[in-house]
C-alpha cells in the first residue's frame, strides 16, 4: 500500500490549500478504437455523463465525457487517410452545471445541446461543427444549421496536434468545462522519419483550471455574466482555483532520463499560462497549432492562451533523480504550479531520438500578396438584458455575415483590441501566419476611428512563428495575421476562444465564397 503525505479526511475539494499535489500519476488519455477500418476509419463516439476522480483523495465527481472519458479518447489519424465519426449525445436532459441566463435561445430550453468541432481541421462546412448545427440527445432536436450525423474528416493536411470539443451555440463554456474535450493527432510520413521521441515518450498534456464544491462536485458560478446593473465592471470570465492535466489535479509524471515530446494544449475556459520548467530549464519547441516548425526553437518559457498548442522536446537525461515542477509564472501560489516531472525511472533503452536540425520547410504568404485587408475591432458592450458582452467588429453572432473571403484569395486580418484584456482569436478552417503586433492610440481611435500607431511593429514571439489557428490579440495592439482560403467554400466561424467570451457574444460567422474572379 502507498502512503501519502496527508490523510484523505483533511482534504476539502473546495479549499485548494488542503489538496496535496503530485499524488496522482499523470493519466494518458486512451486511444479511441475505430468501429471499423475500410479505406477510412469509422468511429462512433458518445457523450456520456459519468463519474471521474480528479484526485485520489476526492470523492468521484460527475462529469461529461466522450465515451465517458475525461479527457476524451485520443483519435490517432494518418495524414490523407479519412476518419468518419458519428458523434452521439447520450447526456441527461438536465445540464450538469448552472445554466444561467444565456443568449441564443438556450435559456428556457431544457434539452442539452451539443455539437463537436475538430479544432485545427480542414473540413467541409457540414462537418465543421457549426454552433447552430447542435443536436440534443439521440438527435431528438437539432439546430438550424444541422446537416449530418456522421462527420467526415479528410485529414488532408500535415501532421499536427488537433483537439475536438463541444461548440454548441451559447453553451460551449459549460459543455467544455463539464468535460467535452479530447485530442486528435494527425501524423504524416515526413514527421515519422524525423526520429522524434515517440510511443510512451510522446505525451499529450491538456491543461485546464477547475474549481470544486466541498463534496467534490464541479463548481461553475451561477452567474458568470451578471447584469451590468449589478456590477458594471464584471465581464464574463471563469477562473478556477486548481489545475488539472489530462483530468488529474496537479499530477506527477515519472520519466526516464531521456528526451520526451510534450504536446501542450490549453483547454481552459478563460485563462492563459506562461509555462516554465524547473526554474528555467531549456527545451526545444518543435510545433505550433499547425504542426512542425521549420526549425526547433530553443526556449525557457512560452505563453499558451486558450486553444493554443505547442509541442516541445525536453531532454531529462541530465536530471536523473531530480524532480522538476512545470510552473505557470503568470501567478503565484497554487495556480502557479501545473504538474511535476520526476526523473526517477531507469532508462529502459538507449535514447536514439533526436531534436532535428531542420523540420518542415514552409512557405508563408507575405503581406504584399494580400488580396484584402480587414480591420476588425474587439470591443466591450452590453446585450439586450444589459449584461456585459464582447463584440467583434461591433456586431453580434446574429448579425448577418460580413466576412466573406473568396476561395483562392489571401487575406490579412487586423484585430484592433479596444479592451484591456488579451483575446485568443481563432479562425476555423485555416492556418495563418502572425505578421506582427503594433501599438496604437486607443483614444484617437475612439474619437474618430483612425488608427494612429504609437510604436514600431513587434515581431511575433519566438514560439509563435509557425502555422497558427489561434492568436493572442493583445490589448493596446493591432495584431495582424495572413492566411489563404484554399479548398472549401461555405459557412464557418471565427471567434475569441475564451469560452465565456465566445458564448457572450464574441463569435461571428464567416462565409467562404466562390468569387467571379480572384478579385
Give the binding site for ligand C2O (CB under 6 A): 117, 119, 165, 167, 307, 426, 428, 493, 495, 497
CB nearer to ligand C2O: pick between 238 and 341:
238
Name the minimum Å distance from CB 445 to Cu ion.
18
What is the DSSP secondary structure assignment for residue 470, as one 8-state letter?
Answer: E
Residue 491 CB neighbour total at 10 angstroms? 17
Question: Residue 495's binding partner, choosing from ligand C2O, Cu ion, none, with beta-carbon cut-off 5 to 8 A by kind?
Answer: ligand C2O
> Which helix (H) or strand (E) covers residue 266, if one does?
strand 259-266
Spell out where 97-254 has E strands. Answer: 116-119, 150-153, 160-166, 181-187, 202-210, 242-245, 248-249, 252-254
Complete DSSP assignment for 374-418: EEEEEEEEE-TTS-EEEEETTB-TTSPP-B-PBTT-EEEEEEEE-
CB 414 within 8 A of CB 480: yes
The C-alpha cell of 295 is what? Answer: 526549425
Alpha helices in 116-265 (DSSP H): 172-178, 189-192
What track of x and - describes contact with Cu ion for positions 65 through 104 (by CB under 5 A)? ----------------------------------------
DSSP string, 46-101: EEEEEEE-SSTTSPPEEEEEETTBSSEEEEEEETTS-EEEEEEE---SS-SS---S
Cell of 39: 479505406
Of 23 and 118, CB closest to ligand C2O: 118
Q: Which residue is nearest to ligand C2O (CB)?
A: 119
Tell which one of 218, 337, 496, 499 touches Cu ion (CB under 5 A). 496
User: Out of Cu ion, ligand C2O, none, which partner does residue 423 contact, by CB within 5 to 8 A per kind?
Assistant: Cu ion
Selection from 70, 84, 101 nearest residue 39 by Cα: 84
User: What does 248 bind: ligand C2O, Cu ion, none (CB cut-off 5 to 8 Å by kind)?
Assistant: none
Q: 286 is written with which cell numbers? A: 518543435
CB of 492 to ligand C2O, least distance (A): 9
By CB under 5 A, the residues from 422 to 441 that bind Cu ion are: 423, 428
Report the alpha-carbon distance of residue 519 to residue 513 in Å, rounded: 12
**Smallest gap from residue 275 Cβ to Cu ion (A):** 21
- Residue 477 CB, shortest distance to Cu ion, in Å, is 14
- Compute the least distance from the CB of residue 42 to ligand C2O, in Å: 23
Nearer to Cu ion, 173 or 210 (CB): 173
Do the beta carbons of residue 428 and residue 128 sit within 8 Å? yes
Q: Does 26 bind Cu ion (CB under 5 A)?
A: no
The binder of 433, among Cu ion, ligand C2O, none, by C-beta within 5 to 8 A per type, is none
| Cα–Cα distance for residue pair 127/117, rounded to 1 Å | 8
* Cβ distance to ligand C2O smaller for residue 13 or 466: 466
By CB under 5 A, residue 497 contacts Cu ion: no
Cα 412 from Cα 397, distance rounded (Å):
22
Supply the minimum distance, in Å, between the C-beta of residue 282 and ligand C2O.
Answer: 30
Sheet-wide strand order for 433-439: 388-392, 372-382, 410-417, 477-484, 433-439
Which of 307/313 has CB closer to ligand C2O?
307
Q: Would you say 119 or 437 has its CB closer to ligand C2O?
A: 119
Closest separation between CB of residue 364 and ligand C2O, Å? 22
- Shortest Cβ 87–ligand C2O spacing (Å): 15
Binding site partner of 307, from ligand C2O, Cu ion, none, Cβ cut-off 5-8 A by kind: ligand C2O
Amino acid at each position: 500500500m502507498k502512503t501519502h503525505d496527508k490523510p484523505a479526511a483533511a482534504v476539502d475539494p473546495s479549499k485548494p490549500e488542503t489538496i496535496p499535489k503530485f499524488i496522482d500519476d499523470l493519466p494518458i488519455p486512451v486511444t479511441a478504437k475505430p468501429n471499423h477500418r475500410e479505406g477510412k476509419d469509422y468511429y462512433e463516439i458518445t457523450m456520456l455523463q459519468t463519474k471521474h476522480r480528479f484526485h485520489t483523495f476526492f470523492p468521484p465527481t460527475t462529469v461529461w465525457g466522450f465515451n465517458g472519458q475525461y479527457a476524451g479518447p485520443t483519435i490517432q489519424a494518418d495524414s490523407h487517410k479519412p476518419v468518419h465519426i458519428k458523434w452521439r449525445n447520450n447526456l441527461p436532459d438536465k445540464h450538469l452545471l448552472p445554466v444561467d441566463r444565456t443568449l441564443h435561445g438556450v435559456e428556457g430550453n431544457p434539452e442539452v445541446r451539443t455539437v463537436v468541432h475538430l479544432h485545427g481541421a480542414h473540413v467541409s462546412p457540414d462537418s465543421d461543427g457549426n454552433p447552430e448545427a447542435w443536436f440534443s440527445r439521440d438527435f431528438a432536436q437539432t439546430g438550424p444549421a444541422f446537416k449530418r450525423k456522421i462527420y467526415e474528416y479528410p485529414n488532408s493536411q500535415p501532421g499536427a496536434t488537433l483537439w475536438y470539443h463541444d461548440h454548441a451555440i451559447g453553451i460551449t463554456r459549460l459543455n467544455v468545462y463539464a468535460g467535452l474535450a479530447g485530442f486528435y493527432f494527425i501524423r504524416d510520413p515526413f514527421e515519422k522519419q524525423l526520429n522524434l521521441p515517440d510511443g510512451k515518450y510522446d505525451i499529450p498534456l491538456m491543461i485546464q483550471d477547475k474549481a470544486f464544491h466541498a463534496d467534490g462536485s464541479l463548481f461553475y458560478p451561477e452567474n458568470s455574466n451578471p447584469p451590468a446593473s449589478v456590477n458594471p465592471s464584471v465581464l464574463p470570465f471563469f477562473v478556477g482555483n486548481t489545475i488539472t492535466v489530462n483530468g488529474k489535479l496537479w499530477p506527477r509524471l515519472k520519466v526516464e532520463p531521456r528526451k520526451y515530446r510534450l504536446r501542450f494544449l490549453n483547454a481552459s475556459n478563460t485563462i492563459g499560462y506562461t509555462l516554465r520548467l524547473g526554474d528555467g530549464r531549456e527545451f526545444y519547441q518543435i510545433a505550433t497549432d499547425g504542426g512542425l516548425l521549420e526549425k526547433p526553437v530553443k526556449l525557457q518559457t512560452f505563453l499558451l492562451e486558450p486553444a493554443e498548442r505547442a509541442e516541445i522536446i525536453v531532454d531529462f537525461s541530465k536530471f536523473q533523480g531530480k524532480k522538476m515542477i512545470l510552473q505557470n509564472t503568470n501567478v503565484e501560489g497554487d495556480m502557479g504550479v501545473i504538474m511535476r516531472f520526476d526523473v526517477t525511472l531507469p532508462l529502459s533503452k538507449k535514447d536514439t531520438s533526436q531534436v532535428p536540425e531542420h523540420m518542415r520547410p514552409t512557405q508563408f504568404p507575405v503581406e504584399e500578396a494580400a488580396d484584402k485587408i480587414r480591420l476588425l475591432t474587439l470591443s466591450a458592450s452590453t446585450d439586450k438584458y444589459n449584461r456585459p458582452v464582447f463584440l467583434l467588429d461591433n456586431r453580434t453572432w446574429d448579425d448577418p455575415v460580413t466576412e466573406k473571403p473568396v476561395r483562392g484569395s489571401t487575406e490579412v486580418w487586423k484585430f484592433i483590441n479596444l479592451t484591456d484584456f488579451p483575446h485568443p482569436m481563432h479562425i476555423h478552417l485555416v492556418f495563418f501566419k502572425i505578421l506582427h503586433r503594433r501599438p496604437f492610440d486607443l483614444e484617437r481611435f475612439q474619437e474618430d476611428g483612425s488608427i494612429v500607431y504609437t510604436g514600431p511593429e513587434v515581431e511575433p514571439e519566438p514560439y509563435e512563428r509557425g502555422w497558427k489557428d489561434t492568436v493572442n490579440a493583445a490589448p493596446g495592439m493591432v495584431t495582424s495575421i495572413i492566411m489563404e482560403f484554399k479548398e472549401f467554400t461555405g459557412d464557418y466561424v471565427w471567434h475569441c476562444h475564451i469560452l465565456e467570451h465566445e458564448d457572450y457574444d464574441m463569435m461571428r460567422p464567416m462565409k467562404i465564397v466562390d468569387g467571379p474572379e480572384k478579385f
